[in-house]
Structure 1
Amino acid sequence: IIINENHRINIKFLSITGDSPALSKILNFIGHGGYYCCNFCYVRGIDIGRKRQYFYGKKIFLRHMEKYYKQSKQAETTKENIYGHKGISILQDILDIPLPHAILIDYQHVTLLRHTKTVLRAIYKQLKPSDRERFDNKLKYQSFPHFFNRQMKPFKEFRFIQAVELRNILFYGFLPLSFEFIDNQQLAHFALFICSIRLYHSQPPMFGDKTQAIADKLFEQYYKDHGIFYSDIQNYVLHMHHHFGTQYQNYGSLANIGCFYQEDLIGHISKNIHGSNYYSDLVVHYYSIDFDLHAQISHTKYKTISKPIDLNVNIIINDYPTIIQHHDKICTCLNHLTCISIYRRCVIRNYIFHSLIYNKRGKSNSYFISYSKSANDYIKYFGRIILFFSCINRNYAVVQRYTQNQNFSYLFKTSPYFSLLEKPLDNCFSLLSKEPSDLFDIININHVIKHCITFEFQQQLIVTEVSAYHEHD
């Protein structure tokens, strides 16, 4: 794109993503009902009971870019189906990354709207009517941090469920809320899938360089034993997860590559159109893209903000002796009232955290956090924020700690999958005391790690961190 004589923008086309019908059309490939419908390998579907099934296979023969082009060219010439190819894709000479490496599996459709929805429906059918109602109520009334625009829908409303709501059920709510309703072995098996997707999605990577390898093993075992717990749903979308490891290696976290943004944009534009089919012109018109390119607007550098907000002048500092003690350690002044300022909320790395003295939080829970006590402390703690305060230009949070009773993975101790699940489960979920302890930690706000979601479980709490912040909600 030429801006003027001195400025030009070079555009690189990295990849193509979308749901299966859209990809099959633009790639000139057979649809997901065909025998060789996988863009990445030569797996052949098997017809069982009028359904195409893709069972686990240890050996997978991948499509390499040279053969991919050769077979698509052969299909173009012969007008025949060559291992799924119907001809050359219009993207063949446009993409800067060769096919099939440029194809992105959209986990919004494949993982959430297809496989997760299918499995959850199968599980829901196994429940008694009374258990279904109780489970639905738990999903419906579960609280989340305030920035979760969509939370969880009950199963009885699955016809209208959105991908984001399915993500919240899969990542956060299903395991903690389903123990009393579902067989432990079946739940342990589904936990393999939950943990694998959480690892592929985690930001930053949960286990560093080992994240992909651990996630691959979890899904492989899940796929291998899928037929033990479910029948007739070993379909194409289940098989596609077999290629998530390679995609993670090439493109990173699932949180970076979903279609949430694009679909939201298209949906927003569609509300503004009046019988027009020229979407490209509408995007340029309504979002002033052409103007922005030519205006050469100088963008300010992205800043990371961490500071307390929402000053509370009515609080009595003498009611909080721990704050006064901390003040006396770091400051020599004798006037607590002028030196200490109390706040209800705080912006930490551009995300807002609440405290218990913030009365407008409603049903949301943005005050339960994971944190460390110092920069050199690698132990992760959990607690609820009582309040924020500043003293001599330093910002702190007063956190009431919850103690950990045992590892979450202990609940699956009898499962044959325990050795695989132990480490991922204990990193995704924590089992804490139901009531807070008498321990209060005063921490620098920079030692707050993440918001947490809490679930009541018997006489305990199950706690899990937000997986990734920047994904579109």
Structure 2
Amino acid sequence: MLYPYSNNDYTARTHDSYLKSAREAVKKSKGHKEVAVNGIKGLSYLFEIFRYPDQIIYDYMHLVCLCHIPSLISRWCSCLNKLSILDIDKKLQRLRTPHNIKVAFLESIKVASLWKAKNSRLFVLYVGVPIMVNHLPTLLFSHFIIYSLAIKLLHAPQSKEDILLGERLLDYYCRTASKVYDSSIEIFSLHAHLHLGHQVRLHGGLAHTSAFSFESAVRYIKKNAHGSTNVASQIAYWNNLRCTTQMKKFNLVTNSLMDVSEENGNI
């Protein structure tokens, strides 16, 4: 399904309008056939807790790093020759990052869809622009610079001006995307970028609301399980054991302590 930029009316959905469309979709759906009304297929119990859209955020790890960047690179590969692709791959493989950034580019840009999210994050925020400068056509490269700068500004904005500039850059990027590439790029994942500026104003920078920290925690928790049987029970057991045996800090009462310093003649 396409979301042409020209069809945007910038009227934000409300929680009530969402529920209205969801209830209508439920009524129109019969049996196993789901009918979408305004892009909504039905009700969710989560909306008894959250209000849409202000309390529902776009996760930039999936939206940007796992969706748009691989899609963008795939389009680039169609206009790059083998030597350029080989040179780009070598530059990515030779990257030397700080000790706290453990990212290795093991796959070629031809299969960027296999990259991990941290690879795409490093690419869009830091290394993509300098590496692609001598390989992409001027139009594609200029367009990518706009996108990279916009994401970087919204990633950890320092001021309201940063958010406003990032929002305007993304608007321009989305508005011109179909002219730089073609109309097939105007899918929902591109359209969703238009909402990132508003989201950052409400919830803070993209870096603070992404799934990166959650994924890291999942990796830590999974270390408590071995094999593929009763994984949840194993995690619960070891977590419970750790909580019950964890030493708690306590302070001794001052008058219960003995002064054993040599100055006071104590041994």
What does the per-residue CA deviation read over 1:336-388, in whole Å, with 9 as the maximum and x for residues that have no partner? xxxxxxxxxxxxxxxxxxxxxxxxxxxxxxxxxxxxxxxxxxxxxxxxxxxxx
Q: Find the aligned partners of 1:229 and 1:295 in 2 and give their Cα distance.
A: 58
Match of 2:88 in 1: 135
User: Quick check: which one's strand share is greater?
Assistant: 1
Cα RMSD of the aligned pairs, angstroms, is 2.8
> Is contact 1:152–1:166 with CA below 8 Å preserved after alignment?
no
Shift of 1:200: 0.8
SS in 2 for 1:139: helix
In the other structure, the counterpart of 1:197 is: 151
For 2:205 and 2:248, the matched residues in 1 are separated by: 31
TM-score of the two chains, using structure 1 as the length reference: 0.46
Look up the equivalent residue of 1:81 and give its one-letter code. Answer: A
Alignment deviations for residues 307-342 of structure 1 (CA, whole Å, 9 cap, x no partner): xxxxxxxxxxxxxxxxxxxxxxxxxxxxxxxxxxxx
CA offsets per residue over residues 233-290 of structure 1, 9 Å max, x none? 22211111111011111111111111123334444545625445674x5543333499
Structure 1 residue 82 displacement after superposition: 2.8
Identical-pair percentage: 22
From 203, 209, 212, give the equivalent of 1:251: 203
* Secondary structure of 1:126's aligned partner: coil
Cα distance change on mapping 1:277 and 1:62 into 2, 3 Å:
farther
The 5 A counterparts of 1:30-429 are 52-57=1-6, 58-77=8-27, 79=29, 81-93=36-48, 95=49, 97-153=50-106, 154-156=108-110, 158-202=112-156, 205-206=157-158, 208-231=159-182, 232-270=184-222, 272-276=225-229, 279=232, 281-288=233-240, 291=243
**What is the alpha-carbon distance in structure 2 between the residues aligned to residue 121 and residue 106 of structure 1?**
22
User: Structure 2: how far apart are the matches of 1:134 and 1:225?
Assistant: 29
Cα distance in 2 for partners of 1:175, 1:265 equals 30
Q: CA deviation at 1:171?
A: 0.9
3-state SS of paired residue (1:103): coil
Three-state SS of the structure 2 residue aligned to 1:105 is coil
Checking the alignment, whether the CA contact within 8 Å between 1:106 and 1:259 is kept in structure 2 is yes
User: Aligned AA for 2:2?
Assistant: Q
Structure 1 stretches of 4+ with a deviation exceeding 6 A read none
Q: Deviations over 1:50-102 (max 9, x none)?
A: xx322213522321012222332343455453323333212122x2x412322
For the Cα contact (< 8 Å) 1:152–1:169, is it kept in 2?
no
**Matching residue's letter, 2:4:** F
SS in 2 for 1:176: helix
Question: Distance between the aligned counterparts of 1:162 and 1:112, measured in 2?
Answer: 8
Q: How many residues align?
A: 241
**In 1, distance between residues paired with 2:249 and 2:36?**
51
- Equivalent pair of 1:135/1:178 in contact (CA under 8 Å): yes
| TM superposition shift of 1:127 | 1.1
Inter-partner Cα distance in structure 2 for 1:209 and 1:177: 30
Unaligned runs of 5+ in 2: 30-34, 251-267
Offset of residue 213 of structure 1: 0.9
